[in-house]
Structure 1
Amino acid sequence: MSKIRRLHANNVATLRKSPLSEISGSLGDLGTLLPLMITLAVNNSISLSTTLVLSGLWNILTGVFFGIPLPVQPMKAIAAVAISRKFSVEETVSAGFTTAGVVFLFSITGLLQWFTHVIPTPVVKGIQVGAGLSLVISAGTSLLQPLGWSQPSAADNLPWAIFAFLSLLLTQGSPRVPYALLIFLLGLLLSFTLAGSANLPSFQLWRPHFILPSWPAFRTGALDAGLGQIPLTTLNSIIAVHHLSADLLPHLPTPSVSSIGLSVAIMNLIGGWFGAMPVCHGSGGLAAQFRFGARSGASVMLLGLFKILLGVMFGESLVQLLRAYPKSLLGIMVLAAGLELAKVGESLNHGARDLDLGDESTSTSPEHQQQRELSEKERKERWNVMFMTVGGLLAFRNDGVGFVAGLGDRGAGERRKWACWLMMNDDE
C-alpha cells in the first residue's frame, strides 16, 4: 500500500504539472490499437464494446499498480492470425487463454525472473530495436504506402501524411506541445467526414455476454495462434518492458517481470470469458506513450476512463466511425512510435544495466551508476549480437526466431573465447 500511495502521489503531481502532455501521451499507442481492434471487430472476431470497457478497466488498474504509462495493447501475433483466418470470437479468446495460461505458470514459478537474468542484454535490446523497426515497416507498407495524392479520399491521402510528418518534426523540440492529442482530434474530425451521417455512433448501452468456447474452437485458437504468441509476449511484452521502463523512467519503481506477467495473464483470463480482445503490455506502446509526453500512470488512467465511457454508451456502433479513421495520420504515429523504440539500442554499450558495477537494486539511473568500460572488441561483439537478433526478427517477422539467432551468435562468440583460451593454455 505504501508503494501504491507513492505512485498515486506521483500520478497526481505529474498530471497537475503537465496535463496536456499526459493526455497526449495516453494517445501515443493508438496507431497500434485502432487498426487491429477495428479489423477484429469488423470481422466479428471480438466484442468491441467489451474490449473497450475491459481494456479501459485494465488501463486504470495498470496506472494504479505500476504508476508508469504501461500500455494495454493487442496481442499482435494472435490478431494477425485471427484477421487473416477470420476467427470467431470463441477461437480468438481461446488463443488469448492459451498464452495467458502459459504466462501465468511462468510468473508463479519464477521462470520469468530466471529468464530476465539469463537472457543477454544485447538480445533484449535486439528484440526492442527489431520491434521498433517492425513498427516502422508496418507503418510504411500497410498504412502509408497505399496512399496517393488524392486517394483514397480528400480526407485521407498523402498530403495529410506529409502534414502530420512535418508537424512531428516541428514539435520534436517542444515536448509541451501535445502532438498526439492534436493529431487524434484532427483524425476524429476527419473520421466524421469520411464515415457520413449514416454511420455515426448511436447510444447503445453495454450488455456483456458470457462466452464458453467449444473444444474445436479452443483447439483451433490455441494451436493456430496462441502458441505462436507466447515468445512474443514473453520477450517483448514482459522482459523488454521491464528493461525499457527502467531505462525511460529510472526515478520510478521498475515493475518486476513476474508482476507484469501476472498482469498480462489476469487481463486475458478474465476478459476472454466476455469476448474481449487478447491484450498485453508492449515495449512499443510504452515507447510511443513516452514519446508523446506520458510520464506517469495518470496518462493510461485517463485513456481508460475514456474507453470505458465509449464502450458503455456507444458499444458496437463505434465500429464504422473508427474504421474511417485516416490511415495517413495513424501511419505517422506508428512511424514515430517505432523510431522511439528503436532508439533504445544506442544505450547498448553505454548505459545498459548489465554494465553496472554496483547493486542493480540500489541504482537510481544509468547516468549516476558507475559502469564497466568495454574494450573495442567487446563493443563490436555486443553490437553484432544485437543486430543478429534484429536481423532474425525482421527477416522472419518473428520474435522467437530473432531471439534464437541472437542467442546463437552469443553462444558462438563464447565458444570462440573458450577455444582461444584453450589454445593459449596448450601453448604454455
Structure 2
Amino acid sequence: MAFTWEYRSGRTLDLGWNEFTGALGDSLTVLPIVVALAALTPVSLAHALVFFGVFQVVWGLAYGLPLSVEPMKALAGLAIAGTLGYGEFLAAGLLGGGVLLIGGATGTLERVQRYVGEDVVRGIQLAVALLLFRTGVDLAAADIRLAAIAALVAVAVTAMGYRRAAALVVLGVGAGIAVWSAGLPALAVPALTPFSAGWPRVTGAALSGMAGQLAMTVGNAVVATALLCKDLFDREVSPNRLSRSMGGMCLLSVPLGGVPMCHGSGGLAGKHAFGARTGGANVVLGALYLVAALFAGVVAGFPMAVLSVLLTVVAVHLGRRGLDTDRRWLVVAIGVVGLAWNVGAAFLLGVLADAVARRLG
C-alpha cells in the first residue's frame, strides 16, 4: 500500500513501489563516481553521502519531482584523474556554486547559454570520459586478473540487457570483496567540521576546471533538466531556479566535507525510466544514502582494480552521450584537447571553433 501526500497546489508525493524502483535511476553513475573520489582523493565518502541524502530529500519535497542530485562530473573526473588537487577541487566547487547562485538570481545563465553550443558541452563530456578511461587503465594495471573478473561481470550484466546497472553491480562486487577482506566496518557518524580535509586553493587549474564544469552544468543540469521536467512531467521549472538550487548545494556542502553537486538530465531521465513520478523517489534515495553513510568505512578496503572497471563503465557512458551528435569532429577535437592539455582550454577553444563554424556554415 502506497503512502501519498498531497500538496496544497494539488500535486502529490508518493512512496509507492514505483518510487522505490525509480530511486535507483539516480544512483547508477552517482555511487561509482563518489566511491572513486573517496578512494583516490581525500574526499570523505561518509560526508559526501550525507549531503547527497539531505539534498535528495530537500529537492524532492521542494519541487515535488524526482530531480536528480549528482556530483559535478567534470570536476569529479578531473579530481579522480589527478588533474585537480583536493584544494583546487574545493575551490572550483565553491566558485562554481557562487556563479550558479548569482547567475540564477540575475537570470544571467540563460543568456550565457546562447553562446555555448550543445556540441561544446558534449566535447567537455568526452574530455572527462577520456580522462576517466585513462585513469581506469592505470588502475587496472595494478591487478589485471581482478580487473578482468570485474570486467566480465560488467559485460555479463550488459549482455543480459541491464547496461545502465552494470556499474552498480560492479560496485557491489567491489564492496563485497572489501567486506570479505577487511570485515564490516563499524557504524560511524561523520562529524561536520569545516574544511577538515583541506582548504580551497584558487589556481589556474581550479579556474579552468570550473569553466569546463559550468559548460556542462548550463547545458545539462539547467537547460536540459528544465526541458525534461516539461516533457516528462508536464511541469514548468525555471532554469534560474535550478541554477539557484545547485549554487546553494555547493556553497552549503563543500565547506563541510561534501562534494560539488548539481542536478542533471540523465539522472532525472533515469528515475523516470525506473518508474519515479514524484519527489517520493528522492525521499527514498535520500534515506538510503544516509543509512549508507554510516557504513562508509567499507571504501577503505575497496580494490583499486575493480574501481578501474567502474571508471571505465562511467567513461563509456559519458563518452557515448558526448558522441551523440552530427558534428563529431568538434566534439572529438574538444575531447582530445581536454585530455592532452586541460578542460578549461578545451572549453574556450571549443566555444571559439563553434562560433566560427556557425558563422561559416
TM range (shorter): 0.7 to 0.9
Aligned to 1:279: 261
After TM superposition, the score normalised by the length of structure 2 is 0.76
Q: 1:285 to 1:326 in 2, by over 3 A?
A: farther
Q: Give, as a single letter, the amino acid of the residue that structure 2 aligns with 1:130.
A: G
Deviation at 1:31, TM superposition (A): 3.0
Q: 1:334 to 1:290 in 2, by over 3 A?
A: farther
Higher relative contact order (CA 8 A, sep 6+): 2
Q: Within 5 Å, give how 1:182-261 maps onto structure 2.
A: 184=168, 187-194=171-178, 196-198=180-182, 200-211=184-195, 217-218=199-200, 221-245=201-225, 250-252=231-233, 253=235, 255-261=237-243
Does the alignment pair 1:306 with 2:284?
no
Q: Give, as a single letter, the amino acid of the residue that structure 1 aligns with 2:245.
A: S
Aligned to 1:396: 338
Deviations along 1:138-191, one digit per CA (max 9) or x if unpaired, are 45433257547xx7276x32243133224213315xxxxx962x8635643443
SS of aligned partner of 1:50: helix
Deviations along 1:187-224, one digit per CA (max 9) or x if unpaired, are 4344333454435311223322234999xx54xx1224
Cα distance in 2 between the residues matched to 1:392 and 1:186: 30
Aligned to 2:17: 16
What is the aligned-residue RMSD (CA, Å)? 4.0
Q: Within 5 Å, give how 1:50-69 maps onto structure 2.
A: 50-66=47-63, 67-69=65-67
Deviation at 1:266, TM superposition (A): 0.8
Q: Give, as a single letter, the amino acid of the residue that structure 2 aligns with 1:337.
A: H
Deviation at 1:35, TM superposition (A): 0.9
After TM superposition, the score normalised by the length of structure 1 is 0.66
Q: Give, as a single letter, the amino acid of the residue that structure 1 aligns with 2:115.
A: I
Q: Give, as a single letter, the amino acid of the residue that structure 2 aligns with 1:133.
A: L
Which structure has the larger Rg over C-alpha atoms? 1
Q: 1:273 to 1:246 in 2, by over 3 A?
A: closer
Deviations along 1:388-413, one digit per CA (max 9) or x if unpaired, are 25422432245544444444344435
Asked if the contact 1:38/1:323 (under 8 Å) is kept, the reply is no
Deviations along 1:321-343, one digit per CA (max 9) or x if unpaired, are 44668236524641553255236
Q: 1:164 to 1:93 in 2, by over 3 A?
A: closer
Paired residues, what number? 350
Q: Give, as a single letter, the amino acid of the residue that structure 2 aligns with 1:72.
A: E
User: Which ranges in structure 2 are unaligned for 5 or more consecutive residues?
Assistant: 1-5
User: Which ranges in structure 1 are unaligned for 5 or more consecutive residues?
Assistant: 173-177, 346-382, 418-428
Q: Percent identity?
A: 17
Does the alignment pair 1:72 with 2:65?
no
Cα distance in 2 between the residues matched to 1:83 and 1:137: 10
Cα distance in 2 between the residues matched to 1:262 and 1:19: 27
Cα distance in 2 between the residues matched to 1:314 and 1:320: 11
Q: 1:198 to 1:321 in 2, by over 3 A?
A: closer
Aligned to 1:175: none
Cα distance in 1 between the residues matched to 2:72 and 2:351: 27
Q: 1:331 to 1:292 in 2, by over 3 A?
A: farther
